Amino acid sequence: MPMIRLTAEPAAIVLDTTRTALIIIDMQRDFLEPGGFGETLGNDVSLLQQAVVPCQTALASARRSGLLVIHTREGHRPDLSDAPPAKIARGAPSKRIGDPGPMGRILIRGEPGHDIVADLAPMNGEPVIDKPGKGAFHQTDLTQLLRNSDIDTLIVCGVTTEVCVQTTIREANDRGYRCVALADACASYFPEFHRVGLEMIKAQGGIFGWVSDATSFANALD
Ligand code: TIU
């Protein structure tokens, strides 16, 4: 079996590359570029740019090694029928979900802002999971997809660390998957939440999973 040893905290983890998937969470223009959902919430979206190159590193290695690569996007149907009213009404954003913005309607499928950033564009054959929630399992076919490929371990990166990345890791952990977050390939609008979000994953002997980084992942695979 193609086993590799990945340096991680709280301890190194041995992976079967045929049973491991890289899942890149929500690296969308709506979160990373000005004029999208992230900015409407009052965030400095430039903070998320630092995850792009590490995600590219992880993605290139995963593709070279033939790992299953999955991309996710958070967003809603154009008629908003899948968007909980409580989510739309939340807070005091400058624009609400579905409102028109410079990259099209905020957080709506099919709009330019909903696209994954060009540097991390999915390749033909790589599944893209469109999800209405923060977690990638909620109301998606991710479970079936992972089961069909006999996946037992998820390497997780993307944005934001404490929101969609961590929610997905918590969902996956409860479903029996081993999860490894790649620290530098994740980012948050709140650097402190990024740091503590990763601490939460690996504390208590790895209560939700492991934390590694993109270079260690690439070195382990290459
Ligand atoms: N993808 C994701 O994390 N969605 C969010 O809404 N994140 C925020 O940090 N707002």
pLDDT digits (tens, 9 = 90+) for 112-126: 999 999 999 999 999
Q: Which of 30, 115, 157, 164 is catalytic?
A: 164
d(CA 70, CA 81): 25
Cα 165 to middle of ligand 1, angstroms: 9
Query: In this structure, which residue's CA is closest to atom 1 in ligand 1?
Result: 164
In ligand 1, which atom is closest to the CA atom of 74?
Answer: 1
What average pLDDT does the chain have? 98
Q: pLDDT (tens digit, 9 = 90+) per residue, 32-78?
A: 999 999 999 999 999 999 999 999 999 999 999 999 999 999 999 99
Q: Any catalytic annotation for residue 202?
A: no
pLDDT at residue 140 tops 80: yes
Q: Any catalytic annotation for residue 130?
A: no
Q: Is the ipTM of this complex over 0.85?
A: yes
d(CA 20, CA 161): 20
d(CA 162, CA 63): 26
Instruction: Provide the 10 A C-beta neighbour count for residue 29.
Output: 22
Q: Contact, 219 vs 8, CB < 8 A?
A: no
Q: Any catalytic annotation for residue 131?
A: yes
Q: Which residues line ligand 1 (CB under 6 A)?
A: 26, 31, 41, 74, 134, 159-160, 163-164, 189
Instruction: Provide the 10 A C-beta neighbour count for residue 7.
Output: 15
Cα 73 to middle of ligand 1, angstroms: 11
d(CA 157, CA 151): 17
Q: Contact, 184 vs 211, CB < 8 A?
A: no
Confidence at residue 3, expressed as pLDDT on a 0 to 100 scale: 96
Contacts of 55 (CB under 8 A, 6+ apart): 24, 27, 120, 157, 158, 185, 214
Query: In this structure, which residue's CA is closest to atom 4 in ligand 1?
Result: 164
1 band by pLDDT with thresholds 50, 70 and 90 = low
- What share of the chain has pLDDT > 70, as a percent? 100
pTM of the entire structure? 0.98
Strand 68-74 and strand 128-131: pairing?
Answer: parallel
Tokens matching residue 133? 């929630």
In ligand 1, which atom is closest to the CA atom of 189?
Answer: 9
DSSP string, the chain: --EEEE--BSS-EEEEGGGEEEEEE--BHHHHSTTSHHHHTT--GGGGGGGHHHHHHHHHHHHHTT-EEEEEEE-B-TT-TTS-HHHHHSS--SS-TT-EEBTEETTBTTSGGGSBPGGGPPPTT--EEEESSSSSSTTSSHHHHHHHTT--EEEEEEE-IIIIIHHHHHHHHHTT-EEEEEEEEEE-SSHHHHHHHHHHHHHHHHSS-EEE-HHHHHHHH-
Cα 159 to middle of ligand 1, angstroms: 7
The angle formed by the CA atoms of residues 89, 173 and 81, to the nearest 5 degrees, is 25
Tokens matching residue 211? 């934390």
Return the best residue to mutate from 47, 72, 74 for the ligand 1 pocket (most ligand atoms within 8 A of CB).
Answer: 74
pLDDT at residue 159 tops 80: yes
